[in-house]
Each structure stands twice: as C-alpha cells, then as structure tokens.
Amino acid sequence: MGNVISWIQKTVLSIFRPSHPLNTIAIISGILGDQLPPASTDYANAKYQYATSSYGEEHHMNPALIVIPKNKDDIVKTLQYARSQKVAVAIRTGGHQYSGASSTAAPNIQIDLKKTFQGPDDRRIFQRGGETFVHTSVSFGLGEFNDYLGQNGLFVPHGQCTNVHLGGHVQSGGYGQLGRSFGLFSDHVVSVEIVDYQGNIREVTRANDADMFFGILGGSPGNFAVLTHFTIKVHRDQDYKGSRGLKSLFFYNPRTLERLLDILVEMSDNDDFPGNYDYCVSVLSSSNKLLDWFTEGGLDEKMREQHPEIYGDDGAPFWPRVIVVYAQWVPFSPSDVPDMGWFDRIREGSIFDVPPEIKPMSQLTKQWIFTNIREFDNPYVKSTHLTDSRTLGKDGWAAWMTKRIDAVVAPEANRVWLSAQLQCFGGEHSKFTTNADNGTSFNWRDSSLCVTADAFYGPGHKQTALDWHTINEQEGIGPNGKFCKTDRRVHWGSFGDYDLNKVWDVYYDNQEKYERLVKIRAKADPDGLFTPNTFSVARQ
Ligand SMILES: Cc1cc2nc3c(=O)[nH]c(=O)nc-3n(C[C@H](O)[C@H](O)[C@H](O)COP(=O)(O)OP(=O)(O)OC[C@H]3O[C@@H](n4cnc5c(N)ncnc54)[C@H](O)[C@@H]3O)c2cc1C
Ligand SMILES: *[C@@H]1O[C@H](CO)[C@@H](O)[C@H](O)[C@H]1NC(C)=O
C-alpha cells in the first residue's frame, strides 16, 4: 500500500508516467469493481462530466482515481481507504451536475455508481397501506426509470432529461413538467439508504433521523453520505383518468413567443390558478435536435412533406429556431373538468401538435422526456432562476423576456445557441408550494416561475454568451429587476460562483436554514470525506 501514497503524491505533482505499473492492478485492495487511475485507458472517458466542456479546467475535474464499485462493500472499502489517506470522495451517478460538482481534483477520489446497482434486486414495486411505492437503486437514468413505472401503470414527477440519473436527481429535487400538479420527485421520497462517513450502511427516514433526511433531500447533493437506494411513493394512472397533454411546435417568432409568455404570466401572477394545470415554454436556437423532443406524433414525416427545405441533400434535418410548448391538465376528482379553451389558445398558429387527447399520466410523463443527452454539443453559460413575483404582468416581464431572448436567437451567425425553459411552479394550489413541509430542504417554495436560459457557444464566442447573460442578470434581478427582486438559484441548475459557502444566500431560503444544514454537515462529515470541492455547504 505504501506505493499508493507515493502514487497519489506523484499525481498531485502531475508526474505520473503513462506506463505506471499501478495502471493494471487494483489500487485499493479488496475491491471487486474497476479502479481507473489517470494513466488507465478508460480514464479519459470515465471522467467525462456534462460540465467538462464548460468548466473542465476551472473546476478541476481530475480525480486521482475513479472507483466503479460492484457492491456496497466496495463503497465501504473506498470510504475507509479515503479516510485513512485523508482524501475526499466525490460521488457521481449520472454526471449531469451543471457545474461538475460530482467530480473532484487529485488527490481526491471519485466513486461512480452509474452501473453499480442495476440487478434484479435493485428495483421493486410494493404496496403498503393502500399506497404504492417503488424501492429503487440510484443507478438508473430517468428515461429508464420512467419506462419501468409506465409499464406498471405508475408515474411520479421528475425532470425531463433521459440520462440524468436518480442518484443526483433525488437529492436535487426533480423539477419537471408535473411541478404544479404533483410537486417535486423528492417530495415523494420516504426513505433513503446510505453508506455514511464511517462506512455504516443504514436507512434514513424522516422519523428516524429528521436532520439527515432534511440534509440529504435538498441540502447539498453528495455532501452527506453515499446513497445506494431509496423508497419513493408513486401515483397510479387509474387514479387520474382523463389527464391530457399538449405538445406544440412553433417556428420561432418574437410575437408568438410574447403571446405564449403572456399566457404564462396570467397563470404565474394568479395565486388562485387551479392546481390541475402545468405549462412550460421552451425556446431552441437552430440546429437543435428537435426529433429528440418529439419522439411521438410523426413530426419527421410531416415536416418532410410540408417543410422539405429543412432537410439537406443528405436527408438530415437542420432545424430552424423553434418554440416548443408543453401543457398538461390532470383531474384530482371526478368533478374536475378541463378548460379546453386554454389548450386552444396555446395551440394557435402552431406548425405541429401532439394534441391534448386523453392519455394515462405515465404516457404523458414519457412524452415530456427529452431523449438526447445534450441540447447542443457545445460548452454553455448557464442560468436558472426562480422568482416569487406576482407582478410579472404589471412589470412588463413577458415583453422584456421576449426582447432578451430575441437578442440571442435572432442573429443567425452569432455562434451562440439558446436552450430556454420558462415554467410555472407557483400558486396556492400548486403542490410545489404545498409539499414544502414534507421534511426536505428544497428552497424557494413560494416561487411562481422558473426560468432557465442556457447559452451554448462555439469556439471563440464565449464572450458573446457571457455578455448576453450579464445583461439578463443586471436587468432581470435586483431591486428594480424585471424578473425578481432577489437572486434565487437551485442546486440542480447551478452556475456562477463555485464556492457555495460564499454564495449560500442565493441557494437557501434564509440564514437559519443554512446554519441548520451546516450543523447537520458537521455531524455527517466530520473529516471532510464528502467535501470534494468548493460547491459544498460549510461544516462549521
Ligand atoms: C441536460 C440536463 C437536463 C436537466 N434537466 C433537469 C430537469 O428537467 N429537472 C431537474 O430537476 N434537473 C434537471 N437537470 C439537473 C439534474 O437533475 C441534477 O443535476 C441531478 O442532480 C443530476 O444527477 P446525476 O446523478 O445525473 O448527476 P451527478 O453529477 O452524478 O450528481 C449530481 C450531484 O449529486 C451527487 N450525487 C450523485 N449521485 C450520488 C449518490 N449516489 N450519493 C450521493 N451523492 C450523489 C453528486 O455528488 C453531485 O453533487 C438537468 C441536467 C442536465 C445536464
Ligand atoms: C408530502 O406532502 C403532501 C402534502 O402534505 C402529502 O399529501 C404527501 O403524502 C407527502 N408525501 C410524502 C412522501 O410524505
């Protein structure tokens, strides 16, 4: 083992040799899974994060070793080893954290759980007290998890990117199309199975450890323990018969955008808007992978027929700038009736629709999933904010937002591509609001609207994206901000300062809450084992 320490020291000094003998042997003894040091052939692929393109250098995503555990015992051994060496462990499942927080710098280690728990015992559905639950491992992607539920006539709210994995998602909330009607994914969690800093395997519930439950679910993903499995309450299609969803496509046009945002504002400013409705407007620059947004409904055939100009000589489509709208209605009681006029207003002028016919909820949740891994194959300047404003109408937000979006989408050759989502979350009847007391620590539950505006950029055009982003922040956020008086961010859509403790006030409701999490962290991570980077809650 002595040579392990010297190897890590060498790595710190970046003087390892590609032909290092440790390349071919297990580095932590007794581990059954793979271990990848930097010199191994698979290391470069294995260390890839969604955020590598944007922050690979800045955020130091170069672990001294990547451990791919085969089982819980491998996790325990890795943690014990790391503790003995006084290095930290970054925990990764899907690698989709937008700032790269599931990676770390040498001499720290990364544990990668994306394949660890996918056996037949890692997932099952069971009933208890008339309710349905799923016990699952963290190692499944959202698309796969959604399919599994769907095959069983079940659903639960969750995010919309197929390759986001449950490991991070369960700790970062799970914001998605069902936000108002059903709340967050994590609002449904009843127990979490962990390996703690001492290597103890235990189950955490709200009843047996309210602090740890609170910390893990929303406090700061990866900073409390290694999650292996969890149990989540799910909904049955049969209890929501009559649900409908509309998916509409529009060629981009600022007038259309402003009209659709006006509908959004109507909903967002109205605290009494019924909880049955969910609505999200997306804007995508040209050359996006639109067929990954519309896997159903025959978009490709229809467009080949009606808009052959989109297809090149090679038959591959080059999609122009578009707006995509998702709108959903779900009954909570047999007497609930949808306002079909609401769907009709939204659809006006669309070039393609998946119409709002009655469909089981599990089919709708599948319909809302984006099936590609990345929106654009470029680095990005990210931005996700919530607002508690109920005066977006009065403040002229829709016109301002349209102008800001147009500023980046209209210039054809600026080498900056937008992926934006604007979605309602609020109101007295919204489950995002009313689930606030489920024992989790997710923030900003009194918010009305969430806006993501990610600017992907080509080589040499980062500054264009940054300049656009900076104006949005300056005009949108602040005492006279068009969008919100305060800066409200979320872990799942993090950006900007990577030192969480420095900017805690934009991620957490208030100081009291943050200080509670600091105390919980001090107990859960006394040695800094789960502190692999600066995007971590402080421990004192
Ligand atoms: C293209 C894209 C689309 C997205 N869409 C949505 C969306 O619609 N809704 C939404 O809510 N979010 C969305 N997200 C954000 C995503 O849900 C979160 O970043 C989520 O935490 C990612 O989980 P992961 O396991 O894939 O990523 P990772 O990067 O592996 O993990 C994310 C965080 O969780 C920690 N973690 C991961 N696994 C474990 C574990 N087993 N034990 C302990 N800690 C762990 C990591 O240390 C890291 O801090 C999107 C992200 C991307 C890149
Ligand atoms: C979350 O809170 C809501 C509202 O109080 C409740 O109906 C639901 O059962 C809770 N979920 C869990 C998993 O505790």
- Ligand 1 centroid to Cα of residue 95, in Å, is 7
Claim to verify: residue 72 and residue 52 sit in the same structural domain = yes
Report in angstroms the alpha-carbon separations of 154 from 63, 122, 168, 182, 275.
Answer: 39, 18, 22, 13, 20
The CA 491 to ligand 1 mean position distance, Å, reads 9
Both 174 and 95 in a single domain?
no
Name 125's bridge partners: 134
Residues 131, 231: Cα–Cα separation, whole Å: 12
Element (H, E) at 452: strand 449-457
The average confidence (pLDDT) of the chain is: 93
CA-closest residue to ligand 2 atom 5: 435
pLDDT at 293 over 90: no
The number of the ligand 1 atom at minimal distance from the alpha carbon of 174 is 11
Answer for the pair 405, 420: CB distance below 8 angstroms, yes or no. Answer: yes
Our answer on whether the CB atom of 438 is closer than 6 Å to any ligand 2 atom is yes
Write phi, then psi, for 482 (nearest 5 degrees).
Answer: -70, -25
- Rounded to the nearest whole angstrom, what is the distance from the C-alpha of residue 432 to the centroid of ligand 1? 19
Give me ligand 1 centre to Cα 492, in Å.
Answer: 6
Instruction: Kindly state whether residue 189 falls inside one of the protein's structural domains.
Output: yes
How confident is the model over 211-221, as a mean pLDDT? 98
540 domain-assigned: no
CATH number of the domain residue 289 falls in? 3.40.462.20
C-beta 232 within 6 A of ligand 2: no
**pLDDT score of 215 more than 50:** yes
- Alpha-carbon gap, residue 96 to 170, rounded angstroms: 13
For ligand 2, the distance from its centroid to the CA atom of residue 431, given in whole angstroms, is 9
Q: What percent of the chain has pLDDT over 70?
A: 95
The total domain count for the chain is 3
Beta-ladder partners of 308: none
Asked whether residue 437 is domain-assigned, the answer is: yes
Within 6 A (CB) of ligand 1 lie 50, 90-98, 101-102, 113, 138, 159-161, 164-165, 167-169, 171-176, 221-222, 226-227, 492
pLDDT for 23 equals 35
Reported confidence tier of residue 315, pLDDT bands at 50, 70, 90: confident
- Residue 75 CB less than 6 A away from ligand 2: no
Which residue did the predictor score with more confidence, 18 or 204? 204
Q: Does 516 map to a domain? A: yes
Answer whether residue 367 shows pLDDT above 60. yes
pLDDT computed for residue 416 by the predictor:
95
**Which ligand is nearest the CA of 430, by number?**
2
Residue pair 426/449 in contact by the 8 Å Cβ criterion = yes
- Residue 277 scores a pLDDT above 70: yes
Q: Answer yes or no: do 163 and 31 share one domain.
A: no
Per DSSP bridges, beta strands 416-424 and 449-457 are antiparallel
Give the span between the Cα atoms of 305 and 301, in whole angstroms.
Answer: 6
- What pLDDT does residue 7 have? 35
285 vs 72, residue with greater confidence: 72
Structural domain boundaries enclosing 151: 120-238
Does residue 398 sit in the same domain as residue 301? yes
Residue 49 CA, closest ligand 1 atom number: 29
State the number of CA atoms in the 13 A half-sphere of 500 facing the CB: 25
Q: Are residues 147 and 209 in the same domain?
A: yes
What's the rounded mean pLDDT across residues 466-484?
A: 97
Does 147 lie in the same domain as 24? no
Ligand number nearest CA of 159 is 1
Q: Which atom of ligand 2 is nearest to the CA of 206?
A: 14
Distance between CA atoms of residues 3 and 26, nearest Å: 12
Is-above-0.85 flag for pTM?
yes
Is residue 200 within 8 Å of residue 247, measured between CB atoms? Answer: no
* pLDDT tens digits along 24-69: 335 899 999 999 999 999 999 999 999 998 987 888 899 999 999 9
Residue nearest to ligand 1 atom 7, measured at CA: 159
Q: Indicate which residue's Cα is closest to atom 9 of ligand 2.
A: 188
CA 288 – CA 320 distance, rounded (Å): 8
Pocket lining: 233 vs ligand 2, CB cutoff 6 Å? yes
Q: Is residue 434 part of a domain?
A: yes
pLDDT at 27: 85
Q: What is the pLDDT of residue 199?
A: 97
**441 occurs within a structural domain:** yes
**Tokens linked to 188:** 């449904």
pLDDT of residue 3: 38
Locate the ligand 1 atom nearest the alpha carbon of residue 50 and give its number: 53
* Atom from ligand 2 closest to the CA of residue 435: 2
- What does the DSSP assignment read for 387-449? E--S-TTTTTHHHHHHHHHHHHHS-TTSSEEEEEEEEE--STT-HHHHGGGSS-----TT--E
CATH number, domain with residue 84: 3.30.43.10
Question: Does residue 291 belong to any structural domain of this protein?
Answer: yes
Residues 392 and 280 occupy one common structural domain: yes
For residue 5, the model assigns a pLDDT of 37
Report pLDDT for 221. Answer: 98
Confidence of residue 16 (pLDDT cuts 50, 70, 90): very low
- Whether the pLDDT of residue 13 is over 60: the answer is no
CATH number at residue 183: 3.30.465.10
Which atom of ligand 2 is nearest to 189's Cα?
13
Query: Would you say residue 501 has pLDDT above 70?
Result: yes
Residues 229 and 251 placed together within one structural domain of the fold:
no
Looking at the predicted structure, is the pLDDT value of residue 484 above 70? yes
Tell me, yes or no, whether 361 lies in a domain: yes
- Same domain flag for 232 and 313: no
Last residue of a domain, one of 185, 211, 238: 238
The ligand with the least distance to the CA atom of 186 is: 2
- Ligand 1 atom 23: the closest Cα is on which residue? 168
Q: Which atom of ligand 2 is nearest to the CA of 439?
A: 14
Q: Which atom of ligand 1 is nearest to the CA of 228?
A: 41
pLDDT band at 258 (very low <50, low <70, confident <90, very high): very high
Query: Is the pLDDT reported for residue 19 higher than 60?
Result: no
**pLDDT for res 413:** 86
The pLDDT value given to residue 519: 98
Pick the range with the lowest mean pLDDT from 310-314, 378-382, 442-446: 310-314
More confident residue, 533 or 13: 533
- Same domain (yes/no): 100, 247: no
pLDDT at 20: 33
Whether residue 187 has its Cβ less than 6 Å from ligand 2: yes
Residues 150 and 162 occupy one common structural domain: yes
**Same domain, yes or no: 30 and 145:** no
What pLDDT shows up at residue 294?
Answer: 84
